[in-house]
Structure 1
């Protein structure tokens, strides 16, 4: 799975004005220059916000090796955001996982905290991230002696654009597979070239058998590069046609159906454009029946094509609702029938740039 990268952020003002910013060019006051210092960032593995190790790594110790101590994240939306802010404010984030490996942790009766909450309270970490949600219970950890600003931001992970046919065919195999296919074809060409230098015997016994079987035996040239090229091309066509049978079917059928979002990985790979709008109550009052039309009236003047994508997803038999307020709450829901029962799935995006998934 390719880690999702933060490329654009959408900022919504209190008046409902929406503008798209480059994630690498976040506007930060020039007075906030940290002179290249290292800032400790406590984190946890929480895709797609923070990706510390590959979920498909065959090594059973991959997650353990990247679970404690200083780590270098593979990617993630929050990671890209912190790095962008670090580039703007001239500081170097150093990501690490707390020694107790308790995630966010919890408060205890003796007044201590475990996990990343403990790292913040004792001052070992300046920043903690990993699907951070703006809950009131966490406001106690803010340093009230420091002025805190607020900006409503969201990230946009656009749906992948349709690839050209040549890209779909080339990317069907890994480089190792392509190297193996090329080696087999080169070997076949060499064998065919060596065979083409031999003459078919034209003795009397051969012609007797040819006459008996009713087949013709023609004399072949000593060296025929055209014959080698033709046979090699035929072999290459047979190999590639057999290898592409599944890939071509998926490519040709992609325009006829859309795969349902059945897992967290499907949601991450599919992507969904997220935008900000302050009129959350107005969207709520519209109700599920008219939510798409009401959202279009609010969004389409400022964000072109966002609701069109939602409509495309809704045509697949899923119910889609996009309800966004200044706290960046995005709710998406679909329903499908599986063997007589309805399966529902929803995910939400909060101000923390994190995702939650609930499947029932």
Structure 2
């Protein structure tokens, strides 16, 4: 406050007041000398809350800490979970509604199925078409009409299988049992494919696609201008030092040398996490408490999924009686539901902070253009095929006329001779 005094509030302080009141604990709040949870430096010294306990400046740390072997060697944990964190790397994301290239626009209609699936569909159409043609050909005179055998060529069989894929009926239906079995299988497979495509297409149109400028720690370390934001004292930093992943080791190097690192402490520093080219390691719930709705612009990094980690109160070593009392009372508070009630009161406003106000997403301009593009494509293909068919018909007619004239000339010559 302006006069130099402090006002304490929050979920942890609510639990502590309840705990201290029930145990009749006399206490004095002490401001820590530095920010952070508690991390061991290469020279063996400790910082943050763990350092306050280890060096005797405090008896209880009013924070939640992940249980780590290195910390357990210098402080004692009260193993009743106070909170669960989902610490992960986050970056500012966005949405892209308009494809940048014609290939992306055309690909929006193919996106509901993987490329391997489309190739499999093409293979299925070819195999079924060949099988249908073979059984019809060998059944001529044995259950299949001559007209069917003549009209259902290999090209016609391929076209009919494609018609079943798009839900169109056939002008000719085979009469032999073997051909009808192939036809039924074709319809069954195509129904499954169409339903899968439709379901995935609806999902693709309804779910907002988030664009990520980077998707991995490798891209973060290789692209220039990126900064890392995190609170000091994260124990996982020590794991990055000896990690088999070279990019995690690179992040440790940047933290230890303060190379492009934003240390989150005061309220103003947390707003830097919403800026471009800033990657933040944090539980998004904590960021919501600091910056509100602005935290909704952040999305997790793809190659580093969040991990659930239970967190606990910690006390200084050498106080077994206090540890037993606090454990028993925290267990009682938890079993009575008081801890859940306090958590709900403090965090209820952020539970649905980033949920969309609408149930569906409007169809994007890119998907609309991709659908409309089928119209001129169909018209162009239709005209091109019509021209080719006309040229082919003229060539065939001219050949027939020429052949007829040659035969007539031969007959005339024969009569004259």
TM normalised by structure 2 equals 0.23
Structure (1 or 2) with the larger CA radius of gyration: 2
* Structure having the larger proportion of residues in helix: 2
- Could you say which structure has the greater relative contact order, defined with CA pairs below 8 angstroms and 6 or more residues apart? 2
